[in-house]
Chains A and B, each alone.
Chain A
Amino acid sequence: MAENSSNKGGDLRRITWIWVVVSVVGEVLFWTLLAKHVPPGRMTETAQSSQSTFNLLMGLAMPVLFGVWVYMAYASRVWSDKRNPNAAMSGPNARNNSRTSVAWITITSVVVLFLAVVGTIGVIQDHGSGGGEGPNPVWNPPGATQAETAALAGTATWSPGSDKVLPVQVIAQQWRFTYRYPTFGGFESQQLILPADTTIAFNVTSLDVIHSFWAYQLGVKADANPLVNNVAYTLTKSPGTFVVRCSELCGIWHGAMTNNGSVVSQSQFMSWAQSTESANATNTALLPAFAWTYVPDANGAAGGYYIDGKVTPYSTVEQYGAKQPAS
């Protein structure tokens, strides 16, 4: 029943050594082989933020995982009933060891609070980290609020080298995304083409049910809610292609709600936008006026369910102006 003093510290020393070796090997392998390739990649500032935060988390998680696994493997081998010639440890230290408990609680608290701080800094620095910030974003890139207000007023412009924010509206409906460009007359396109080295302000809304605009390689994800404008920012860097998928179950064809998009050079984008604007001019004239949200008729999400066909939405642009109440 007495504590076995012959190798009191020996077990823990051995475990620690094995843990250190395994962790170092794991970290080296991860950082040299995998870290640069961690999704979603490095195409935009928000994608880079997502990747680097993931790598930091992985760097911290690996020692934790290895620590517990090494300990459990050691325990299963060395302290098993069949292999352990000694009785199980007993005495007051078996019930509690305040140093261990305090150390555990302190270390886990410090790590976890550090991660919360890092995450918060990331969200603020990257203007929301590519996630939907709702209709009233708090962390706006410079020039974003002006661009958004101008877009609604119909006076927004963008040109290569202007360093302006490009507002793009994402309209989700069952079961397709379409995109409107208010800086180019508000034409609606099924193609999502974006300029490189530009801050993009995605304004995501839905015409029926909840969807989610997930531009994978851009590191942008924003839910599309009916009658709500959900704003997400990113800063594109180099040209490339990306894929857009719906990531909120929206009905039968949710799995098929996907399209490709591309980031092109600023001049290529300008020529595409201008030519599409003029080519689509007659269609654009038939569309509803550009707005942050669109009020479908009674045949929106609920079909002909509400019989009087009138809609009385909670918040309209007329009632609340360009800002809508936060949810």
Chain B
Amino acid sequence: MTISAERSTNEMAGTPSAPAHRVTWPQRPGWLSQHLGTALIVGFLGYLFGHWLGNLVAHNYTYIANDGQNTVADFFGLLFMVVGFLGGIGVFNYPLAKIIGRTPEGEHKNRDGWSKYFRYTLDHKVVGIQYIVGVLLFMFTGGLLAMAVRSELLSPTTHLFSPDTYIKIVSEHGTVMMMMATSIIVGPLGNYLVPLMIGARRTAFPRIEAFSFWVFIAGYFVIFSALPLGGFPTGWTGYAPLQTQAGPGMIGYLFGFAVIGVGMMAAGFNIAITIVNFRAPGMTWSRLPIFVWSILATAALLTLATPVLFAAGLFGILDKTAQTAFFVAEHGGSSYLWENLFWFFGHPEVYIMALPGFGIVGELVPVFARKPLFAYKVAAAGMIGVALLSFFVWQHHLFQSGINPDMRPLFMLTTELISIPTGFIFLVGMGTLYRAKIRFEIPMLFCMAVFFNFLIGGVTGVFLSDVPVNVTVHGGFFVLSHFHYTIMGGLLFAFMAGLYFWLPKMTGKMMNRKMGMWHFWTMFVFFNLTFFPMFIIGLLGQPRRVFTYAKGLQGLNDFSSISAYCLGLSFLLFFVNLMWSMFISPEKAPANPWDSLGLEWQTATPVPSHNFDRIPVITTDPYGYGETPTAVPAYAASDSGPTGSTSQT
């Protein structure tokens, strides 16, 4: 007998009670209701209001009168822009209604059609698809900036940009990409898939989930606004007191991270509680898909590490507006304070970027190898181990900074130790490939690329963790190549694997295979051709974030830049494939094109808003490939067959 663990989903079912007073204005249909358009309008008005308020408050501060630039007005402008944007999309409707004692109208009730993607919605699947668009927006902005950076580095003597503009391009590229990379898998795939994979109808806090997406978009506007405000010169690491010296564009960076940080904390909090509390009956921890384990570990990091960034950003904003001196040594502060606060967040941050990539390859390789996941418990333990240890390694970014010298061997040890659980994904991946029957579909190719790239990235990380070698390679192109190999080579390739794999489920359409093959091969080859020479460039002495370099290094730099253009073209190819396959000439996908045993594939396509007609009872993990003559899907087939699925072997 199926235990139906249905939870109350009034909003989903769409039948609110009829109260005496109704707050009706947000729910008018069509153009006059709340959507991205109203958000943009109210956000813009908020910016104007905040700017005016800041001028009113601060125009007679001495430093502002002397400077001619009002950072207080810029900050208030951005603050009210974000508040207005969120209010315009409808984030505050429910809490405000509750506060004033009215019964709130249910949020937008799953209107059919494309308009729901422009609204504040409680459906985690809609939020997942919204995130895909958001993430691609960040990616293409950052990517264009990267093309500009590589163009400048074609010659050490001929310059396309002034040094001022160049450093702002570099800083914006890094910051936009890091903001994107934080959420690139947790946002789209985590939000879409985690409830489906654990057999739930929704996440624990759907409003917080939707809020995390719209605040992510608001953060894009904030960080992008740094450019018209004059840009910021500090790189994505924002070191003080260069940040104190910088112009008003720095507020865009500091506040942008604060805003993105709020979204990160919200998303992590929501997903972690969902995974802990909303698992279907029978979904024990040892049956949890490895992707969900990785998202759980990531969510823990998102929730626990980001508040430190928020505090650091707050101190920076105070330094730049209220003339405090948290980071200014001449007035009692310390430049080390920012460094430590930033990197205390910054190191868990990069594991926020690595772990979901591991989760995706762990989830996909069994499907394409037609074998169970090897050493599942080791994989899960590795994710937990990485997440725990990631809080203990941050000073390896500061080996030469003048930190307490006793700390250097300690952090060298902890950093070496963290490479042990990080290596588990290779044990698991290689073990799964052993005597398998590998289907080289496009998602699998991307997974193999993840292993290839992350191996190089991870091994060079071990080089960097060793203090004597760190003296040579810190602060130059070696470390730059290391993190591009791990974040781009690992995470971004895993994201592509996940997209090609799950878009048929999310949209019912297959990505075009031929274009996909071209996309994969050009992206993989040109990625390696772009970034591998940078290890050599770094060893030969070129620092990061420079617009000029030793003449002898021009050959390598040019090779890297030309390859980078080709890499950019491969992303264009991806975008063309996406548009072609989703909109221009879509090809209908079968219900389970990859023959996956995952629970998410057992739902109908398109997935109904309530996900499962009956909550399934879980009997095994989803990796039973080849274990019975016709592999039994992970749910009990007897009572709880969801509608519309076909059983697959």
Using a CB–CB cutoff of 8 Å, the interface residues on chain A facing chain B are 1, 4, 11, 38-40, 46, 49-50, 53-54, 57, 61, 64-65, 68-69, 71-72, 75-76, 79-81, 84, 86-90, 94-97, 100-101, 104-105, 108-109, 112-113, 115-116, 118-120, 122-124, 126, 128-139, 208-210, 212, 214, 216, 219-223, 225-228, 230, 232, 243, 245-256, 295-296, 298, 300-307, 311-314, 326-327
Q: List 30 A-B contacts (CB under 8 A).
A: A11-B434, A65-B455, A68-B430, A71-B430, A72-B433, A72-B452, A84-B438, A89-B626, A94-B374, A101-B378, A105-B420, A108-B419, A118-B466, A129-B467, A129-B468, A131-B408, A131-B471, A132-B402, A133-B402, A221-B400, A222-B402, A232-B400, A248-B239, A248-B475, A249-B242, A252-B163, A305-B245, A314-B329, A314-B332, A327-B404
A313 touches B541 (CB 8 A): no
Q: Is the CB of B335 closer than 8 A to any CB of chain A?
A: yes
Quick check: A116 and B401 within 8 Å, CB to CB? no
Pair B241/A304 contact, Cβ less than 8 Å? no
Say yes or no: A11 contacts B435, CB within 8 Å.
yes
Interface string of B419-431 (1 = CB under 8 A from A): 1100110110011
Task: Tell me whether B328 and A210 are in contact (CB under 8 A).
Answer: no
B235 at the interface (CB under 8 A from A): yes
Q: A101-B427, A249-B242 are in contact. Are A4 and B435 (CB under 8 A)?
A: yes
B98 touches A (CB below 8 Å): no
For B242, give its contact among A96, A210, A296, A311 (CB under 8 Å).
Answer: A210
- The interface residues of chain A lying within 8 Å CB-to-CB of B408 are 123, 131
Q: Which residues of A contact B334 (CB under 8 A)?
A: 314, 327
Least Cβ distance of B319 to chain A in Å? 9
A303–B325 alpha-carbon span in the complex (Å)? 13
Give every chain B residue within 8 A of A311 (Cβ-Cβ).
330-331
Report whether B468 and A133 are in contact in the complex, using a CB–CB cutoff of 8 Å.
Answer: no
Interface contact A79-B543, CB-CB below 8 Å: no
- In the complex formed, the residue of B with least CB distance to A109 is B420
**Could you mark each residue 356-382 of chain B with 1 if its beta carbon is under 8 Å from any beta carbon of chain A, else 0?**
000000000000011111111110000
State the 4 A-B residue pairs at the shortest beta-carbon distance, nearest first.
A255-B546, A247-B475, A90-B626, A230-B402
Give chain B residues whose Cβ lies under 8 Å from the Cβ of A76. Answer: 438, 440, 448
- Contact partner of A75 (CB less than 8 A), chosen from B329, B433, B452, B456, is B433
- B402 A95 Cβ-Cβ under 8 A: no
Name A81's contact: one of B438, B459, B547 (CB within 8 Å): B438
Give the CA-CA distance A208 to B62 in the complex, in Å.
22
Is the C-beta of B16 less than 8 angstroms from some C-beta in chain A? no
The size bracket of the interface on B is 35 or more
B455-469 contacts to A, CB under 8 A, are 455-456, 459, 462-463, 465-469
- Of the listed stretches B29-37, B82-90, B386-394, B409-417, chain A binds B409-417
B436, A249: Cβ atoms closer than 8 Å: no
Cβ–Cβ < 8 Å partners of B625 in chain A: 88, 90
> What 1/0 mask marks residues of chain B from 614 to 640 whose CB sits below 8 Å from any chain A CB?
000000000101110100000000000
Give the docked Cα–Cα distance between A87 and B629 (Å). 12
Least CB separation from A248: chain B residue:
B475
Q: What per-residue 1/0 map shows which CB atoms of B146-188 lie under 8 Å from chain A? A: 0000000000000000011001000000000000000000000
A220 to chain B minimum Cβ distance, whole angstroms, is 7
Known contacts A88-B369, A208-B241; A305/B163 CB under 8 A: no
Of the residues A126, A209, A246, A306, contact of B468 by C-beta under 8 Å: A126
Shortest A24–chain B CB gap in Å is 19
Which of A100, A129, A305 is close to B427, meaning CB atoms less than 8 Å apart? A100
Residue B540 interfacial (CB < 8 Å): yes
A-chain residues with CB within 8 Å of residue B476 when the two chains form the complex: 247
B53–chain A nearest beta-carbon distance, Å = 22
User: Can you name the residue of chain B whose Cβ is closest to the Cβ of A53?
Assistant: B468
Nearest Cβ distance between residue B389 and chain A, in whole angstroms?
12
Residues on A with beta carbons closer than 8 Å to the beta carbon of B163: 252-253, 255-256
B413 touches which one: A95, A116, A135 (CB < 8 A)? A116
Which among B66, B329, B543 is the interface contact of A227 at CB below 8 angstroms? Answer: B329
Q: How far is the CA of A192 from the CA of B241 in the complex (A)?
A: 27
> B545, A249: Cβ atoms under 8 Å?
yes
For the complex, give the distance between the alpha carbons of A289 and B329 in Å. Answer: 20
Contact A131-B439, Cβ < 8 Å, known A57-B466, A122-B467, A314-B332: no
Name B371's closest neighbour in chain A (CB-CB).
A88
Residue in B237, B329, B405, B626 whose beta carbon sits within 8 Å of that of A138 in the complex: B405
Cross-chain contact A209 with B241 (CB below 8 angstroms) = yes
Q: Which residue among B408, B417, B435, B455 has the maximum number of chain A CB atoms within 10 Å of its CB?
A: B435
B459/A208 in contact, CB under 8 A: no
Instruction: Report if B333 contacts A (CB, 8 A).
Output: yes
**B residues near A226, Cβ cutoff 8 Å:** 241, 329-330, 335
Given A79-B436, A133-B405, A115 contacting B167 (CB threshold 8 A): no
Asked whether B470 is an interface residue with its Cβ less than 8 Å from the other chain, the reply is yes
Are B235 and A249 in touch, CB under 8 angstroms? Answer: yes
Q: Which residues of A contact B46 (CB under 8 A)?
A: none
A247 to B416, CA, bound (A): 24
B242 touches A251 (CB 8 A): yes
In whole Å, how far is B44's beta carbon from the nearest beta carbon of chain A?
A: 30
Chain B contacts for A210, CB-based, 8 A: 239-242, 335
| B462 close to A95 (CB less than 8 A) | no
Question: A residues within 8 A CB of B547?
Answer: 255-256
Q: Is the CB of B62 within 8 A of A307?
A: yes
A4 to B237, CA, bound (A): 54
Shortest CB-to-CB span from B360 to chain A, Å, is 17
Are A61 and B471 within 8 A (Cβ)? no
* Cross-interface CB contact of A87 among B375, B437, B548, cutoff 8 Å: B437
B399 at interface (Cβ–Cβ under 8 A)? yes
CB-CB nearest in chain B for A127: B405
A108 touches B405 (CB 8 A): no
Indicate if B38 sits at the interface (CB-CB under 8 A). Answer: no
**In the bound complex, what is the Cα–Cα distance between A112 and B335 (angstroms)?**
32
State in angstroms the CA–CA spacing of A98 and B543 once bound together.
45
- By the criterion CB–CB under 8 Å, are A295 and B330 in contact? yes
B120 within 8 A of A: no
How far is A201 from B371 in the complex, measured between Cα atoms in Å?
59
Contacts A230-B402, A251-B233, A326-B404 given: A96-B475 contact, CB under 8 Å? Answer: no
B245 to A301, Cβ gap below 8 A? yes
